[in-house]
Structure 1
Amino acid sequence: MTDLTPAEVTAQAEPVANTQSGTFGGVCQTCTAPRQVKFFYDDPLTTPVTDLTTRFLDADETVLAQTRTYHPLNYGAKDTEAQIQEIRDNLGIAEQPDLPHAPLTIDTGAEADIDSAADDAWELEKGLVGDLWTFETAMVRTFQPYVDEWNRDGWTGAAGDFINGVGRGISSWWNGEKDFWGSAWGWLKSTTSSAASAAWDAVTSPIETAQALGRAAWDGAQAAYEQLENLVEILRALLTGDIDAFFEKTQLLAALRTAGGAIGEFGQMIYDAFQNGVEWLNSLIEMIRRTPVLGLIANTAMRVITMMTPNFWAEMVGTGGGFVIPEVIIWLICLLIGALAAASGAGAAPAVAALAARAASTAAKIRRLIKGSGNAFRAITRFLDLLQPIIAKIGPLGRKLRDSIREIQRGVVDKTQKLFMPTRYYLQRLRQLEFDVPGAHGPQRHEGDVTAKALGDRTYYGIDPMTGTKVDGVHGGNHMAPRNSTKFKTPADYVRADDFMRNTADFKAGVSSGDSSIEVIESISNPKLFGPSAQSRFMGKQRVGSAKNPTGMRDLDFRNGTIKAVYKKKPDGTYGLYTMFPQHSGVFPAVYPWK
């Protein structure tokens, strides 16, 4: 028999204690009854909310009892193990045996405790976003030799034979991703049109393609290669905070469990994590529903990956390293799962320790598949080395987010109350802002769905992101090309900024005076808005030259910038968002062509 730790003994005793013990100083048994509440997320798996502080209060706000919702360890189970299915119906429940029949209030803890944890989470998030900018800046220096060579020589240089041969698929993929994510460098020359239109099966067969790219040296190499498109879609779902797309796309990776080696281990871990996972999913859902951090990590990683130009991959393949982007993204996902598992509280932590260790072990095995020599291999190794400690910081942030969950339900009379916690607020609110007032155009021109290419095309060619043409989406005439085109990278930050602006003194003063239009400008570095080191949250392009005679493009610096919002009065007297966008404080000096 396996000896239990003190934490496991305490956890497993809790359900018994909650159903058998009385409330000290409570009313007589004939005036009381068992009461329970079950918390769920409204995510695609209806995940129970585990290890959540729960209080039962009377009409005078007196705390009658405080407990936590049940988690796997309460039943001797480990997260992602098959036993979870047997106890899943019990998870997320908080219960007490002898509470009054009268209506109760149920909440998730004292306001002061929740506020303190939320403040801690905000400080951790700001620090992590600053780290991403430091990382991106370091990566620009690391990949500069390859970018310089590529922008100078393109396919006529060292990458020529590579692109015209087995590299055509890579160059096609790379073209699309740099247009979507942009690049930490700024401008990158596209491959030729013929290469850009090449399909992934440009060579005689996928197997021969994988072999030619140096990908046949390990078990599961071909299976991972075939998942590349899906892997990138997972990162895009994180960027937009689309929990439905993220769950759908990530679960598809479970197909890799039939592959061999470390890739097969990864596929099995994904299968177990979603089929039998609960505790780590709580941390994941809190991250997606309340912060843009996972999306900003995905965005930064891909902006660096796009600096791995075709000539870089030509060198990697030539030195035995191969095209390892699928492995890099799989490694990243392993680290994310491990960090999210580490976000569990002290009471539930033993239940996810095995998953955290499994994720770390799988990540290490995946990383050992990334081999090579020379400068290209050293560059990609530096990418991995500098990104890993940033991802590790997700654990403490996730814990504070879970400690600061704020839910309250008043007038509860049912013996069993079910409470669903929303997971799609930012996306749903963003869709509302698109049509907040007639002519509203903020999200359509200044939010994450606007690609890096669309930003540049707007200021260079006068193409409106709302229509994809030179027709203006607001008034129907010609769209006037602005000198600067900017955006927030994530829906979460866009909605947060709108919420903040509506609570400023300028906005409230405009409402009080009944102004038809209210303009609010706030500093990005305001610690209650985004704080310092917020550059990684925004993107912007500036046209060099006039609209009639553009000569180049610059990237914008937002580190001391502002947010500008314009609100219009509605017929009912309320105010809707007309537009909102980040304003830069400076420009990065490099000028590059835009075609």
Structure 2
Amino acid sequence: MGPSPHSSGGLMNAADAAASNSSRPVGLVCEPCQAVGWMYAQYDDRWDTPIPLAQVQVSDINGAVIDSGGRTKGLATFGLEDGIPHQSVRHELGTYAFQAPQEGRLVVELVPEPSGPDPAALEAEIIADLDAFEQRMETALQPWIIAWEDRGVRGLIGSFFSNIRSGASSWWDDQEDLWTAIGNWLSSLPDLAAEAWDGAVAGARELWENRDEILGLIQSLAKGLVSEFQTGFEAILELVSAFPDLEEIANLMREAYEDSAEWAAAMIEIARSTGVLHAIGGTMMGVLAMTPPNFWTDMVALGIGYLVPEIILAIIFAIIAFFSAGMGGTLLAAKLMGFARNVVSKIRTLGATAREVVQVGTETVGTVVAQIIDVLISVKPKVEALVRSLRSRIYERANGATGEATPVLRNAEPKRPTVNASNRPPSRPLVDPSTNVASPQRTQHILHGDATGGGHLWPGGPGKTAFPQDWDANRVMRATSDVATDPNLFWKPQTGNGGLFTKSGKPARFLVTDAAGNLPVVDGVPMRVIVEPAGEGIITSYPKY
């Protein structure tokens, strides 16, 4: 998938590149006495995922609508979909070109057009399905659990069930406890295998050696950590590409990464707006981890035990298939679901082969584990509907101007990380380790302004002090970030008495100064930078001449 060429290398590179490009955007017709403009819509994730086919409305600074009804470009615009090479049009995804009656500042909006079921209702249905699945699995695993409890050891099982009965979306009081327990469980499986390791099928050994990385992938997905998931996805793709026995997995991951552009948008919307990924990831892995050691002894005896990393990948592939299908990418979705179904078939076959040996009660090992994939297949239509419903409700707004690219940026995660505060700023960035550490919303505020003010990029908004004319957007945000994160500067309380929060509980704000209380000066420009360490990080920045 990879970063979009029109925005890689920093938040505002695309605007700078487009503004300096003498050629007009594709499809824009220039008419006498009319100004031209263009925009791009994307998320602030690692892959610069475009926001495709979103309805656009453009207004002048006085609120008069000058363009409406158009849509940002998506793969479908070019007759493509996820899973098909598209590099020749990658730079156009998420873009829209328009004309204005005259040169000037303007407002670009992604306008919602709600359709489909209510997202909250769909989310509740999906979680209810997962609750029902958990109850079925508890019943199916009872013979193994009872047999293990007869030994006087409950371990993880009792703790898991005491928590998951409150619902799949709250499968553990402390997420870290569950993921630690799952990691310990996964690491202990080799002790149950004994000589069965030597009989592992081709590719299983390589996957097993990278089981921690694979577990981390579904963990980040369950927690809604989009950029962490994307980083892990790239790392695992590199790992599996090195082994010929894992060619099928490598090819599927490569198609999802290099030849796809839109499924990540669905992942982001679900992660930032619902608890569905939290419920799916936690329930799937929780069910695997709550099974007692004697169950996995049976699994290893069948040769299924070392398929656990493959089972986790099948779960991840099935979830990505939901995202792709929800965005219209049926080709990639079919391939990914095909892999998941093949894993189910393999497990069922191995389980049936030794039915008399490992059958306990009415279930076999193969049928129990296969249900994990089966339930994902069963909720697929609802997840796809949730994707479409969330997409129809996207709203974003950005200030811009004719003659330049206007970036419309959307958070990839529901809440950006905060930092610890004292009377000195931390030595690391406030928000994100990159050149620009301000959030997309605050970047827009500083550069182009919003409903609360701002707009200090040359020539500046009405009545606003502008940065020097030779300071482009990147220069402004780099200087702002440098000041905000300089460990040699100090923070002067603007609200509250120097603590993280005011008496009313709101995040406190600080002015960055030198030791004498003066504003820091960058290349001759006095910088007034306000930070909110327990809230949004950088709040605003402007020159104070």
Shorter-chain TM range is: 0.5 to 0.7
**1:64 equivalent among 64, 67, 72:** 67
- 1:360 pairs with 2:310: no
Look up the match of 2:27. 19
Cα offsets for 1:433-482 (capped at 9, x unmatched): x989xxxxxxxxxxxxxxxxxxxxxxxxxxxxxxxxxxxxxxxxxxxxxx
- 1:90 pairs with 2:67: no
Look up the SS of the partner of 2:73 in the other structure.
coil
After TM superposition, the score normalised by the length of structure 2 is: 0.61
Alpha-carbon distance change, 327 to 571 in structure 1, aligned in 2, over 3 angstroms: closer
Q: Tell me the amino acid that sits aligned with residue 105 of structure 1.
A: V
Alpha-carbon distance change, 362 to 273 in structure 1, aligned in 2, over 3 angstroms: same
Look up the match of 2:200. 216
1:265 Cα deviation from its structure 2 partner: 1.4
Look up the match of 1:147. 145
Alpha-carbon distance change, 105 to 201 in structure 1, aligned in 2, over 3 angstroms: closer
Question: How many angstroms apart in 2 are the aligned matches of 1:35 and 1:235?
Answer: 41
- 1:235 pairs with 2:243: no
Question: How many angstroms apart in 1 are the aligned matches of 2:198 and 2:380?
Answer: 28
Look up the match of 1:46. 48
Look up the SS of the partner of 1:19 in the other structure.
coil
Question: How many angstroms apart in 2 are the aligned matches of 1:427 and 1:178?
Answer: 35
Alpha-carbon distance change, 43 to 199 in structure 1, aligned in 2, over 3 angstroms: closer
**2:106 equivalent among 101, 104, 107:** 104
Question: How many angstroms apart in 1 are the aligned matches of 2:410 and 2:63?
Answer: 25
1:34 Cα deviation from its structure 2 partner: 2.1
1:343-358 equivalences in 2 (<5 Å): 343-344=326-327, 349=328, 352-358=329-335
Question: How many angstroms apart in 1 are the aligned matches of 2:57 and 2:144?
Answer: 58
1:402-413 equivalences in 2 (<5 Å): 402-410=391-399, 412-413=401-402
1:574 Cα deviation from its structure 2 partner: 5.1
Look up the match of 1:415. 404
**2:346 equivalent among 369, 374, 383:** 369
Look up the SS of the partner of 2:39 in the other structure.
strand
- Is residue 214–residue 317 contact of structure 1 (8 Å, CA) maintained in 2? no
- Is residue 271–residue 414 contact of structure 2 (8 Å, CA) maintained in 1? no
Look up the match of 1:337. 320
Per mean C-alpha deviation after superposition, the further-off stretch among 57-66 and 403-412 is: 57-66
Look up the SS of the partner of 1:57 in the other structure.
strand
Look up the match of 1:495. none
Question: How many angstroms apart in 1 are the aligned matches of 2:379 and 2:199?
Answer: 28
Question: How many angstroms apart in 2 are the aligned matches of 1:234 and 1:226?
Answer: 15
**2:266 equivalent among 283, 286, 291:** 283
Look up the SS of the partner of 2:38 in the other structure.
strand
Alpha-carbon distance change, 210 to 242 in structure 1, aligned in 2, over 3 angstroms: farther
Alpha-carbon distance change, 30 to 321 in structure 1, aligned in 2, over 3 angstroms: closer
- Is residue 339–residue 391 contact of structure 1 (8 Å, CA) maintained in 2? yes
After TM superposition, the score normalised by the length of structure 1 is: 0.56
Question: How many angstroms apart in 2 are the aligned matches of 1:140 and 1:17?
Answer: 58
Question: How many angstroms apart in 2 are the aligned matches of 1:179 and 1:231?
Answer: 24
Cα offsets for 1:256-282 (capped at 9, x unmatched): 245456x53122211231233211121
Question: How many angstroms apart in 1 are the aligned matches of 2:203 and 2:162?
Answer: 30
Look up the SS of the partner of 1:101 in the other structure.
coil
Look up the match of 2:277. 294
Look up the match of 1:75. 78
Q: Tell me the amino acid that sits aligned with residue 379 of structure 1.
A: V
Cα offsets for 1:66-106 (capped at 9, x unmatched): 21111123334442433x22222111101124554243221
Look up the match of 2:295. 312
Divergent runs of 4+, >6 A: 177-183, 196-203, 208-211
1:416 Cα deviation from its structure 2 partner: 1.7
Look up the match of 2:208. 225
Look up the match of 1:382. 371
Give structure 1 stretches of 5+ with no counterpart: 1-15, 23-28, 158-173, 188-195, 437-567, 578-595
Q: Tell me the amino acid that sits aligned with residue 35 of structure 2.
A: A
1:240 Cα deviation from its structure 2 partner: 2.3
- Is residue 343–residue 396 contact of structure 1 (8 Å, CA) maintained in 2? yes
Alpha-carbon distance change, 21 to 123 in structure 1, aligned in 2, over 3 angstroms: farther
1:143 Cα deviation from its structure 2 partner: 0.8
Q: Tell me the amino acid that sits aligned with residue 364 of structure 1.
A: R
Per mean C-alpha deviation after superposition, the further-off stretch among 62-71 and 30-39 is: 62-71
Look up the match of 1:6. none
1:223 Cα deviation from its structure 2 partner: 2.0
Alpha-carbon distance change, 133 to 248 in structure 1, aligned in 2, over 3 angstroms: same
Alpha-carbon distance change, 384 to 108 in structure 1, aligned in 2, over 3 angstroms: same
Look up the SS of the partner of 1:104 in the other structure.
strand
- Is residue 210–residue 225 contact of structure 1 (8 Å, CA) maintained in 2? no
Question: How many angstroms apart in 1 are the aligned matches of 2:190 and 2:290?
Answer: 23
**1:303 equivalent among 286, 304, 309:** 286
Give structure 2 stretches of 5+ with no counterpart: 1-23, 166-170, 173-183, 423-498, 509-545
Question: How many angstroms apart in 2 are the aligned matches of 1:42 and 1:210?
Answer: 47
Alpha-carbon distance change, 318 to 52 in structure 1, aligned in 2, over 3 angstroms: same
Look up the SS of the partner of 2:311 in the other structure.
helix
Look up the SS of the partner of 1:35 in the other structure.
strand
Cα offsets for 1:359-384 (capped at 9, x unmatched): 12222222233222332222223333
Look up the SS of the partner of 1:37 in the other structure.
strand
1:43 Cα deviation from its structure 2 partner: 0.7
Question: How many angstroms apart in 1 are the aligned matches of 2:500 and 2:185?
Answer: 48
1:192-591 equivalences in 2 (<5 Å): 212-213=196-197, 216-217=200-201, 219-254=202-237, 255-259=239-243, 263-344=246-327, 349=328, 352-370=329-347, 371-372=350-351, 373=355, 374=359, 375-410=364-399, 412-428=401-417, 431=418, 571=502, 573=504, 575=506
Question: How many angstroms apart in 2 are the aligned matches of 1:385 and 1:426?
Answer: 33
Alpha-carbon distance change, 414 to 100 in structure 1, aligned in 2, over 3 angstroms: same
1:304 Cα deviation from its structure 2 partner: 0.9
Question: How many angstroms apart in 2 are the aligned matches of 1:37 and 1:43?
Answer: 18
Cα offsets for 1:566-592 (capped at 9, x unmatched): xx9964645479xxxxxxxxxxxxxxx
1:424 Cα deviation from its structure 2 partner: 2.9
Look up the SS of the partner of 2:49 in the other structure.
coil
Cα offsets for 1:220-262 (capped at 9, x unmatched): 222222222112111221232222221121222213245456x
Alpha-carbon distance change, 128 to 214 in structure 1, aligned in 2, over 3 angstroms: farther
